[in-house]
Amino acid sequence: MLVLDCPFCGPRNESEFAYGGPALAPRPADPSAVSDADWVDWLTVPPNPMGEVEERWWHLRGCGAWLTVRRHTVTHAVTEVRLGR
């Protein structure tokens, strides 16, 4: 049970949030202009470091904001929580 410091609500237990997957690069503005390989890469290949990873969390049982959280994949240390992307 992590503690995430919501910019609106302050530190809250993970149980108030829904995990929303790894933070992908911004979705291509015009997907048809992107090559097949680049599209597949954007869609299916997330960063997977032994270290800090950025991921999305939804404060579902709180303010409803989508947050981007920087978390260490070995220690769980959270070093940043920001609103949106």
Partner 1 sequence: MGGNGWRLAEGGRIDRSRPLRFRFDGRDHVGFHGDTLASALLANGVRLSARSFKYHRPRGIMGAGVEEPATLVHLAGELASGNRPATTLRLSDGLEAWPVNAWPSARLDIGAVNQMIARLIPAGFYYKTFKWPDWHLYEPAIRRAAGLAPAPATPPDGAWEARHAHADILIAGAGPAGLMAALVAGRAGARVILADEGIEAGGSLLTRRLSIAGAPALDWVTAAVAELAALPNVMHLQDAAVWACREHNLVMVEERAPSRPAILGRSWRVRAGRVITATGAIERLMVFEGNDQPGVMLASAAQAYVNRWAVRPGRRAVVFTNNDSAYAAAADLARAGVEVAAIVDSRDPVPEHARAASAGLPVLAGHVVRSTQGGRALRAVTVAPLAGGGARRIDCDLLAVSGGWSPAVHLYSQSRAPIAWDDRLAAFLPAGPAGPVAAAGAADGALELGVALADGAAKARAALADLGFAPPDAALPEAEDLPYGITPLWTVPGAGAKAFLDIQNDVTVADIELALREGYSSIEHVKRYTTGGMGLDQGKTGNVNIIGAVAERLGKTPGEVGVTTFRPPWTPVEFGAIAGRRSGPVVLPYRHTPLTDWHMDQGAVIYEAGARWRRPGYYPRLGEAFQDTVNREARTVREGVGIYDGAPLGKYEIKGRDAARFLDWIYTNVFSSLTVGNGRYGLMLTDDGLILDDGVSFRLAEDRFVMSTSTGNADAVGQHMEKLLQIERPDWQVMITNVTSQWANATICGPKARAVLQAMGTDIDMSPAAFPFMSVRDGRVAGLPARVARVSFTGELSFEVNVRPRDLPALWAAAMTAGAPFGITPIGSEANHVLRVEKGFLSLGHEVDGTADPHDLGMSWVMAAAKPDFIGKRSVDLRRASGRPRRELVGFRPLDPDRQVPEGAPLTPGGRTEATEGFVTACVWSVVEGRWLGLALLQDGRARIGTRAHVRLPGGVIEVELCPPVFHDPKGERLRS
Partner 2 sequence: MQRYSFLSLCRHALGQHRGWAPVWRTRPLRDRYSAIIVGAGGHGLAAAYHLAKDHGITDVAVLEAGWLGGGNVARNTVTIRSNYMRDESIPFYVKSVAMYEALTRDLNFNLMHSRRTMIDVLQTWGMVRDRRRRRLIMDIYGSTYRDIDVAELRRRIPALTGGGPGSRLPILGAAVHTDAAVNRHDAVAWGYARAADAMGVEIHQQTPVRTLLRGADGAIAGVETARGPVRAPVVALAVSGHTTTLTETVGLRLPLRTINLTAFVSEPVKPVVDVVVNCPDLGVYLSQSDKGELVIGGATDLGQSFRRDIKQSVFEDTVAAMLELFPAFRRLKLMRQWGGHLDMAHDASPIVSATDIAGLIVSAGWWGGYKAIPAGGAGLAHLIATGRPDALTAPFGLNRFRHLDYVIETGTTTAR
How does DSSP assign 20-68, residue by residue? Answer: EEE-PPPPPSSGGGS-HHHHHHHHH-----SSEEEEEEE-TTTT--EEE
Applying the rule CB under 8 A, the residues between 3 and 42 that interact with partner 2 are 14-15, 19, 21-22, 36-37, 40-41
Question: Which of partner 1, partner 2, none binds 46 (CB below 5-8 Å, type-dependent)?
Answer: partner 2
Applying the rule CB under 8 A, the residues between 56 and 85 that interact with partner 2 are 71, 73-76
Question: Which of partner 2, partner 1, none binds 15 (CB below 5-8 Å, type-dependent)?
Answer: partner 2
CA 24 to chain centre: 8
